[in-house]
Structure 1
Amino acid sequence: MYHLTALVTLLAIAFYFFTAVNVSRSRTKTGVKVPAMSGHPDFERAFRIQMNTLEWMPIFLPALWLFAVYISDAIAAGIGVVWIIGRIVYFVGYSKAAAKRGTGFAIQSLAAIALWVGALGAVTLRLV
C-alpha cells in the first residue's frame, strides 16, 4: 500500500487549492476583475504562483508515484514533503517580490528531479 504517498498527493492538491483561493482573494483585494490576467503586481505574483504550481504538478505527481511504486512509499513521501515545503517557500518569497522566489523554486525543483531520476533509474534497471 502507498498510504504515505497518497497523503502527500492529497497535501499537494490542498496546497494547489490554497493557491487558487489566494488568487481569488488577490483579485478582490487589488480590484483586478475577471477575466483580466494582469493589472496589479500583487495579483500578478499570486497568479504566477498558482500557475507555476500547476505547471509543476504534471512533473511532480507521476514522478512521486512511480518512485513510490518502484522504490519506496516512505522515501517518495519524504521527498514529496520536501517538494511541498519548497512550494510553500516559493509562495512566501514570491508573494513579497519576484526576486525572492529562487530558494523555494530550487528546493521544489531538486525534489522533483530526485523523484524523476529515481523513478527513471528504477524502471530502467527492471528493463535490463
Structure 2
Amino acid sequence: MYHFTALVTCLAILFYFFTSIQVSKARAAFGIKVPATSGNPDFERMFRVQMNTLEWMPIFLPSLWLFAVYISDAVAAGLGVVWIAGRILYLIGYSEAAAKRGRGFGIQASAAIILWVGALGAIAWRLIHG
C-alpha cells in the first residue's frame, strides 16, 4: 500500500484548491471579471501561481506515484512534501513580486525532477535486470 504517497497526493490537490480560492478572492478584491485574466498585476501574479501549479501537476503526480511504486512510498512522499513546500514558497514569493518566485520554483522543480529521474531509472533498471 502507498498510504504516504496517497496522503501527499491529497495535500497537493488541497494546495491546488487553495490557489483556486486565492484567485477567486483576488478577482473580487481587484474587480477582475471572468473570463479576464489580466488587469491588475497583483491579480495576475496570483493567477500565474494557480496556472503554474496546474502546469506542474501532470509532471509531479505521475512521477510521484511511479517513484512510490518502483522505489519507495516513504521517500516519494517525503519528496512530495518538498514539492508542496516549494509551491508554498513560490506562492508567497510570487504574490509579493515576480522576482521573488525563483527559490520556490527551484525547490519544487528539483523535487519533481528527482521523482521523475528516480522513477525512470528504476523502471529502466527493472526492464534491463528484471
TM-score, scaled relative to structure 1: 1.00
Amino acid at match of 1:37: T
C-alpha deviations, 1:69-100, integer Å up to 9, x for none?
Answer: 00000000000000000000000000000000
Amino acid at match of 1:119: A
**Structure 1 unpaired stretches of 5+:** none
- Equivalent runs, 1:26-37 vs 2, <5 Å: 26-37=26-37
Amino acid at match of 1:82: V
- Equivalent runs, 1:33-48 vs 2, <5 Å: 33-48=33-48
Q: In the TM superposition, what is the alpha-carbon distance from 1:35 to its structure 2 partner?
A: 1.0
Partners of 2:73 and 2:18 in 1: how far apart?
Answer: 25
Q: In the TM superposition, what is the alpha-carbon distance from 1:126 to its structure 2 partner?
A: 0.5
Structure 1 match to 2:104: 104
Partners of 2:34 and 2:116 in 1: how far apart?
Answer: 36
Amino acid at match of 1:52: N
Residues matched between the structures, number: 128
What is the root-mean-square deviation of aligned Cα atoms in Å?
Answer: 0.3
Q: Which moved more, 1:9-18 or 1:30-39?
A: 30-39
SS in 2 for 1:33: coil
Partners of 2:14 and 2:34 in 1: how far apart?
Answer: 23
SS in 2 for 1:89: helix
**Percent of aligned pairs with the same amino acid:** 74
SS in 2 for 1:34: coil
C-alpha deviations, 1:4-27, integer Å up to 9, x for none?
Answer: 000000000000000000000000
Partners of 1:6 and 1:113 in 2: how far apart?
Answer: 19
Structure 1 match to 2:120: 120
Structure 1 match to 2:65: 65
Partners of 1:35 and 1:52 in 2: how far apart?
Answer: 18
Amino acid at match of 1:86: G
Structure 1 match to 2:11: 11
**Structure 2 unpaired stretches of 5+:** none
SS in 1 for 2:34: coil
Partners of 2:60 and 2:9 in 1: how far apart?
Answer: 10
